Structure 1
């Protein structure tokens, strides 16, 4: 299937600025069989940029190919860096929006760690909805109801002081329809605030971060495109800020109460984003070849290369390497639920950090630079001193 019009504003789709190789249609599923991992279904990547609103989307995305269930292991909650971030973010949102004792709904709550942090910060009640939530893994005694399902099918009304949606909107193809469904489901427009977090595509384009382009992300947002989208769907945008080493955008909004819709200073125009997209397209092959050559050099010298990060970035990185992915000797992840599972597409087995004492890698490539410091500390504690390079 091909999306011929922009999912955010309905403008005619331009020619894609980036056509990638087919990639696994799910990158966080737990796969216990290597053969199944190697033969995992793939989908097409064709990124288009709307010249009117600036949304970037995969115009070959087919939602029927993706699967979200309890086998979808997306959490970063085992990282101390990530835990500190969500603690600070939850505390900030509770304080600034007076949510102490209030009710919060999280759409796409994942494994629930952020809603738990909101409870620790003082909310009175929470509802988390996600097909992959696993209440048995949540050890805190918190006032939260967990719904293993989807919005709006399994939660048609949003009666809450705040609606949180973190790292979910980019998985939605009809993004404007989705936001409008939230607007329609809000029971008290005077009371409710929306608190969203999405990856920032501006960084992806500027850094030619090909490892941040994968099938589940059907939509890619910049500060400008996400601001225009929220206003078009009936929301006043209160704030858009960058967070988490400038990898993400925090969007705070309320249902429209009237008045002029004014763009925020952080919002770029579509023409500026188009220039960044063109640079990404020109630099993509060079960036992929850089990492291929880096790994080949280590192999030629008799050394071993491992990547650290067994999630979506790791799957995308290995897929882009093509045949050279076989030169990567292992994939490491601190999430115990990922360990001894296999990566979709290449079949690499996911190792625990302690397994590196036998592998003794010469090069560790960190899939997310936000975790570089904690990874270096863990390697040092294991008595290892490889070269560590972050994407």
Structure 2
């Protein structure tokens, strides 16, 4: 059965609308729009110094379109001109013990599996450099990190003198930085022209067919199944499933070695090698197109009900005069509060990242507080933006003598 027939038979068209838009993943010229959120901040992690700057922050629209040719999902209203990643872009997660364990385990495995000892490595979208420095520490490697938001010297490391940071957006101009391993973590979802981006990586490798490539991004199947609207925001213009990600890599000259989930099945990871001839190797973890259509239909059919449930939750806590705070001031928080239109229902937002403290959240206007603030405030409920951190949060609360109910998003 053709993919268009699968869409028609599944009844997806009843909960979507067709738009003329070129898929940046495969070039198909028609997408099905299934989710829309208007007037949301165009950035979530730029740290602002005043509440007024945060409230006046530029906004845009999120209109998700599903490609019935390759299964890719993109924001058809995304405007790359509104992207402004700079040194005040604060997305560092390494202040969390839970995240650090994941990163260390991942780096250790990659070093071992790809024999990354005394090698030259490249990380595209390296943020503040934590992971690249870790790879270089573990294997005595040398590295180049490319990211407009990197702050050289922020992360202390014995490998610092072996790592060069380039404060620029990745492009074909950086083809000279290849080495024996390329990684790119939580960057591709911020890239609109996805085919062009991954093809640029492949072109930079040329005929060095032993160069390993590793990408990590959010998994969109989880977003669809859990209706995780907090993971849908303007910065993320590109949404991948195992199948659509693997197809992109094959189409750009790679053979997929592995595609899998990690970090509580929130992250989608792919490992690939460049090939001289097109690969037709399908990985067992790639979902079928029919399955993906059903996931999109489920989300489109039920998301309004989930949003209404959360709005009713906030109406109830306001009526009961409960003190409610949000734990986690990043993109999930911005999407959660602005999508629901319940900014004023939450009094405070806390975060463990000290570089966020005293700053204000784009579009939300809340000042970001240290967890220590909760010792005095003693909230009734704490909404946890990512459930994977509940155990470490509860441990911190117990240590501070804060008795609050944790409400994780799920």
- TM-score of the two chains, using structure 1 as the length reference: 0.97
Structure 1 residue aligned with 2:372: 354
Q: CA deviation at 1:260?
A: 4.4
Structure 2 residue aligned with 1:25: 42
Structure 1 residue aligned with 2:26: 9
Structure 1 residue aligned with 2:361: 343
Aligned equivalents of 1:161 and 1:140: distance in 2? 21
Alpha carbons 2:189, 2:236 under 8 Å: kept: yes
Structure 2 residue aligned with 1:88: 105
- Give 3-state SS (helix, strand or coil) of 1:194's partner: strand
Matched, 1:189 2:178: no
Structure 1 residue aligned with 2:127: 110
Matched, 1:41 2:58: yes
Q: What 5-or-longer segments of structure 1 have no aligned partner?
A: none
Q: CA deviation at 1:7?
A: 0.7
Aligned equivalents of 2:404 and 2:312: distance in 1? 18
Structure 2 residue aligned with 1:327: 345
Structure 2 residue aligned with 1:372: 390
- Give 3-state SS (helix, strand or coil) of 1:164's partner: strand
Aligned residues: 389
- Give 3-state SS (helix, strand or coil) of 1:342's partner: coil
Structure 2 residue aligned with 1:51: 68
Segment drifting more, 161-170 vs 260-269: 260-269
Q: CA deviation at 1:259?
A: 6.5
Structure 1 residue aligned with 2:186: 167
Q: CA deviation at 1:295?
A: 2.5
Alpha carbons 2:137, 2:158 under 8 Å: kept: no
Q: CA deviation at 1:148?
A: 1.0
Aligned equivalents of 1:376 and 1:154: distance in 2? 46
Match of 2:301 among 282, 296, 299: 282
- TM-score of the two chains, using structure 2 as the length reference: 0.92
Aligned equivalents of 1:337 and 1:55: distance in 2? 35
Segment drifting more, 10-19 vs 160-169: 10-19
- Give 3-state SS (helix, strand or coil) of 2:366's partner: coil
Alpha carbons 1:307, 1:365 under 8 Å: kept: yes
Aligned equivalents of 1:151 and 1:56: distance in 2? 22
Q: CA deviation at 1:189?
A: 2.2
Segment drifting more, 198-207 vs 291-300: 291-300
Aligned equivalents of 1:148 and 1:226: distance in 2? 27
Structure 2 residue aligned with 1:310: 329
Q: CA deviation at 1:270?
A: 2.6
Deviations 1:141-163 (A, max 9, x none): 21211111122265232331100
Q: CA deviation at 1:321?
A: 1.9
